[in-house]
Amino acid sequence: MVLPDRGRKGRESRIFGRNTPLGDPGARAPGTFARLLHRGHGPRLIGTRTAWTTICDGEFFCPGCGGDRNYQRRTGRRRFVFLGVPLLSRGDAGPVVECAACQDHFGVDALDHPTTVRLSAMLRDAVHTVVLAVLTSGGSTSRRALDAAVTTLRGAGFDDCTEERLAALIEALAADTGRIGDPDCVPGLAIELHEALGPLAPHLAPAGREALLLQGARIALADGPYTPAERDVLATAGCALTIDPDDVARLLVAATRTPR
Ligand SMILES: [Zn+2]
């Protein structure tokens, strides 16, 4: 499907006139000749016209209007237009991502940012993974640690989480992997933590990454001081969250001093 140009926000670069962010870098201020040919809001007589072709569509977080929006990914063909007639090819344009709401164009790297719905799901998964990692690393699961974990998980959106369900899940994990109390569990846990936290970390502010680590730390502290296995798991979580090891150490100490 080839779509006609639209004039909004200079999405079509006019000769000697305004230019799109992705348009012709050689465009310059209007000259006399161009002003004569293109007066006010009349028909475009001379300039560069881009015909866009939609490649695919989907949903993305629009950095322009700030929300989850539909997008179309497009490539274009630029043509020099004289007296309204396309004459010369001026090469390809894009690919670009066009927001269906604000209709602005962005580079395709805009698709790297997750939607808010996806980000929320990633955050929930991350909390779940950190909580389970801490609980299963401890060698035994105390009532107080379970209490703290249920509170944290409910706060993250797991409304139906109960101590019984969590205990059953941990038992099932232990039966499946032999994880609890197993000194060789760390590589498996590290992989799970990196898988859950790694993709999320670039999209969280430092305070958000630290908050995730502190949630794990408070569960580890619920039944007493950190065990070596809990320290290992929390250090791994900090690494997956791209928190500096010195900051991880500082946060783990800070967690022992702050009320839960
Ligand atoms: Zn938008």
Tell me, in angstroms, the distance from the centre of ligand 1 to residue 102's CA: 4
Q: Residue 238 C-alpha to ligand 1 middle, in angstroms?
A: 34
Give the distance (Å) from ligand 1 centre to CA of residue 71.
Answer: 8
Of 157, 97, 149, 96, which is closest to residue 125 (Cα–Cα)? Answer: 157
pLDDT more than 90, % of the chain: 56
What is the mean predicted confidence (pLDDT) over 122-144?
87
Residue 62 C-alpha to ligand 1 middle, in angstroms?
A: 5
Average pLDDT over residues 190-196: 90
Residue 23 DSSP SS3: coil
Residue 62 pLDDT > 60: yes
Domain ranges in the chain are 2-112, 116-257
More confident residue, 33 or 102: 102
The closest alpha carbon to 220, from 143, 88, 109, 131, belongs to: 131
**Other Cβ atoms closer than 10 A to 95:** 17
Average pLDDT over residues 149-170: 92
pTM beyond 0.75? no
pLDDT for 109: 94
What angle is formed at CA 124 by the lines to CA 230 and CA 212, rounded to 5 degrees? Answer: 40
Could you tell me the pLDDT band of residue 181, with boundaries at 50, 70 and 90? Answer: very low
Q: Are 63 and 106 in contact (CB under 8 A)?
A: yes
Q: Which residue has the tokens 């979580």?
A: 237
34 vs 192, residue with greater confidence: 192
Closest CA to 169 of 196, 223, 116, 129: 129
* Ligand 1 centroid, distance to 68 Cα (angstroms): 8
Gap from CA of 116 to ligand 1 centroid (Å)? 14
